[in-house]
Structure 1
Amino acid sequence: MAEERTTQPETWLYSFSKTGWFSPSYNIEIPDDAVPVSLENMIALKAGVTAGQVIVPGEDGEPVLGESPPPPTEVLGTMERRWRDFQLSATDPLVTRHRDELELELPTTLNAEQYQQLQQYRVALRFWPESADFPTQVDRPQPPNWLAEL
């Protein structure tokens, strides 16, 4: 029975223009900007990319890890509107239950102050996209403290 060889290519190259890895052992065409990278560095770079970093040219032209640029403002706005819509949907049942309890003259789960705070939070969520701080996550409207306990 023949032994199966599982060897790694001796040379790895990284191309910034193609944002990819190449090896003369596997690739016929290699971009002109491809630079050699050791197997150890390639593994570290791939681990960094998996963790959310990006590969950028270092001072010497070799690939190094850098921080991912933030998404464009339009993308952030879309993401934050989705978050806002989710928060509104998540609190809809509380509003509905409170109104149902009032209409049926039942004891309410929320007291009057909690209901008012909940509605103020929901109004803040609705107006947040027009805020000067939008779409910064740290400036999101904050829910009432008691809401997490329900």
Structure 2
Amino acid sequence: MADKYATFNADGTLNLRLIKGLHAIPKGATPVDERQWQRLINETDGIWTLGGDGTITKEPLPAVGPDYAAIERQWRDGEIESVKWLRERHRDQQELDIATTLTDSEYAELLAYVQLLRGWPQAKSFPNQMYRPVAPGWIAEQVS
């Protein structure tokens, strides 16, 4: 009599691997021979399933691609952080009533760029990197 068992979820995928004497063996658990047991515990590169005929097989793991939306949100967040200092410097200079480093039109461009970044995840072309908001060229020339 087998002392190793497996249980399967309603969709047929492997749920538990059990050893008699260590675990309570539920009704309906599938007995597993030593060879199959070793495969069940060592081969984790797929999804083990129980077929309607009682055979246990391993299916390949589903392919998982990059999460482009998450990548683009991270890029967007980094871009906003990278220009905050320009906005803060300009506001500080205005409050101190001293000459601003940015012109009024540059400041307006900066604010418009930040708004485009905030709206990027809602854009129809999101998350296609080809359509990312483009920073005004003068931003790269600023020294923090």
Paired position in structure 2 for 1:71: 65
Alpha-carbon offset, residue 71 of structure 1: 3.2
Query: Quick check: which has more Rg, 1 or 2?
Result: 2
Paired position in structure 2 for 1:98: 90
CA distance in 2, matches of 1:101, 1:71: 46
Gaps of 5+ in 1: 1-17, 19-68
- Say if 2:144 is the partner of 1:149: no
CA distance in 1, matches of 2:64, 2:105: 39
Higher relative contact order (CA 8 A, sep 6+): 2
**SS where residue 114 of structure 1 aligns?**
helix
Q: Which runs of 4+ in 1 moved over 3 A?
A: 69-72
Computed over aligned residues only, the root mean square deviation of the Cα atoms, in angstroms, reads 2.0
CA distance in 1, matches of 2:99, 2:76: 30
Alpha-carbon offset, residue 145 of structure 1: 1.2
Gaps of 5+ in 2: 1-44, 46-62
Deviations 1:116-149 (A, max 9, x none): 0000000000001000100000100000011111
TM-score, length-scaled by structure 1? 0.52
Structure 1 residues 81-96: aligned runs within 5 Å: 81-96=73-88
Identity of aligned residues (%): 40
- In structure 1, which of residues 130, 135, 139 is the aligned counterpart of residue 127 of structure 2? 135
CA distance in 2, matches of 1:87, 1:96: 15
